[in-house]
Structure 1
Amino acid sequence: MAFQPIVNLETQTIFAHEALVRGLNNESAQAIFQHINDSNRYLFDQACRTTAIRLAAELHIPCFLSINFLPNAVYEPERCIRTTLEAAENHGFPIEQIIFEITESEQITDLVHLRKIVEYYRARGFKTAIDDFGAGYAGLNLLSEIQTDLIKLDMALIRGIDQDKVRQAIVKGVLQVAGELSSLVIAEGIETQAELITLQGLGINLFQGFYFAKPAFQSLAQIPLDRFVTVV
């Protein structure tokens, strides 16, 4: 696993660390996902959860831990969550600090089943998020069916937004919808100060991206102090 921070500029704190899949020698997530199929998807999903929780406990993460999960790997939420609960208990990591992100790396085959998963997770005290919103399979259709605590805007919406009125209008619309649904919005993929200034001006406070820190392999990334400065 590698960990990348999600920053809250309103409070000038780290809101969460996202656990990102890596190979044993820091190979990319893309390289790992090439080996995932129907025969190993469930075990892979479970292994990622337990590994992320174990490392988070070892690194003494004091904030939220964000873990991606594969919706099609969760057959019965009650059974699948058992391993997560056991890992959290064994390693002393509070379940109320865990966020489950619905990843868009594969098409969701059963929205009713996914809704059941999200509702079950939230009832057990976990936070939930839609990852990469605005790209792939994570769009308005998914949001109309599944309500989560957080919505993470895909970096395709963020890239160059300071010079793109269309992207700005889209993000404004998403923020209005998210507000009515009581969901927090995270802008991921921030690479420049200009992007950050524009997004702050639109009302976003939670950010993730290389501008703050690249993912750190098996450790927590260090953020330069000047990155916490509110620029608007």
Structure 2
Amino acid sequence: MSHLKPCRACRDGAELDFAFTMAFQPILDLARDRVWGYEALVRGPEGQSAASILDRVTDDTRYRFDQAARVRAIELAGRLFPRDGETRLSINFMPNAVYEPAACIRASLEAARRVGFAHERIMFEFTENERFRDTEHVRRIVSEYRRQGFLTALDDFGAGYAGLSLLANFRPDLIKIDMDLIRGIDADEGRRGIVAGLVAIARALSVTVLAEGIETRGELDALRDLGITLFQGYHFARPLLEGLPEVAGFGEPASLERVA
């Protein structure tokens, strides 16, 4: 892998003229009573929203931002994450910003090696809500990332443009069921039926299901009854800027101040 050279588009992107960092939110495996991993979420240096940062990303800086966000997330994970060799890092990426999958992943691999974070612990999420300019290109990205040893996930599943089609075409390791399907599921028979169907489809395809956006105990109980074991949401912990938030019963939190 070290022989790969970045493509010209990867080298020549415009420099960013704004700063950003990451907040981390835990993903919990309740079947094993542990933190499965953390999702890295873009934030401003003072905790400004992801939208306020993404609004500044232009077509000219899309690639540079996507690469810088990956590296920032990996560098922070290398400093913050427990040295258990298992806790995973989930990173959102922009498929439309990837020019050549094998070359454009090089910076992520180099960052992981530099901080001693095994790249097999990294999961890349792409969202169903983003219209893909070239579906075959996205298929190549997912295939290359999996070949390199990364996990892949389809985010916001059930809320975007072509969910089942994307699942059939890309076969990610994991799908994250969109929070709009989760909200109030304990009191909504229709939502329970839809999610039960998605769980059955995922199981048939050997795809793991994660329910995101959990806000109440009722939602959690309903989803556990459907056989889901991976969860994420405010019910457990809110994202913490440059740190790992405390989750009752899941170990000690970490922060940059504590480990610097």
Per the TM superposition, whether the score is higher than 0.5 is yes
Under a length normalisation based on structure 1, what TM-score does the superposition of the two structures give?
Answer: 0.95
CA shift for structure 1 position 137: 3.2
1:104-141 Cα deviation digits (max 9, x unpaired): 45311111000000000001100000001011236112
**Residue aligning to 1:174:** 198
Report the Cα distance in structure 1 between the residues aligned to 2:94 and 2:129, rounded to whole angstroms: 8
CA root-mean-square deviation: 1.2
Report the Cα distance in structure 2 between the residues aligned to 1:31 and 1:192, rounded to whole angstroms: 28
**Residue aligning to 1:108:** 132
**Residue aligning to 2:115:** 91
Segments of structure 2 that go 5 or more residues without pairing to the other structure are 1-21, 251-260
Aligned partner letter, 1:85: L
Confirm or deny: 8 A CA contact 1:108 1:137 kept in the other structure.
no
Report the Cα distance in structure 2 between the residues aligned to 1:155 and 1:117, rounded to whole angstroms: 26
Aligned partner letter, 1:117: I
Report the Cα distance in structure 2 between the residues aligned to 1:106 and 1:179, rounded to whole angstroms: 25
**Residue aligning to 1:209:** 233
Report the Cα distance in structure 2 between the residues aligned to 1:138 and 1:13, rounded to whole angstroms: 33
Does structure 1 residue 130 correspond to structure 2 residue 151?
no
Confirm or deny: 8 A CA contact 1:150 1:184 kept in the other structure.
yes
Instruction: State the secondary structure of the residue aligned to 2:244.
Output: coil
**What percent of counterpart residues are identical?**
54
Report the Cα distance in structure 1 between the residues aligned to 2:209 and 2:228, rounded to whole angstroms: 7
Report the Cα distance in structure 1 between the residues aligned to 2:106 and 2:247, rounded to whole angstroms: 34
Q: For the pair shown, which has the larger CA radius of gyration, 1 or 2? A: 2
Instruction: State the secondary structure of the residue aligned to 2:58.
Output: coil
**Residue aligning to 2:258:** none
Residue-pair matches, total: 226
CA shift for structure 1 position 60: 2.7
Higher relative contact order (CA closer than 8 Å, sequence separation 6+): 1
The 10-residue stretch of structure 1 (54-63 or 174-183) with the greater mean CA deviation from structure 2: 54-63
CA shift for structure 1 position 24: 1.1
**Residue aligning to 1:47:** 68
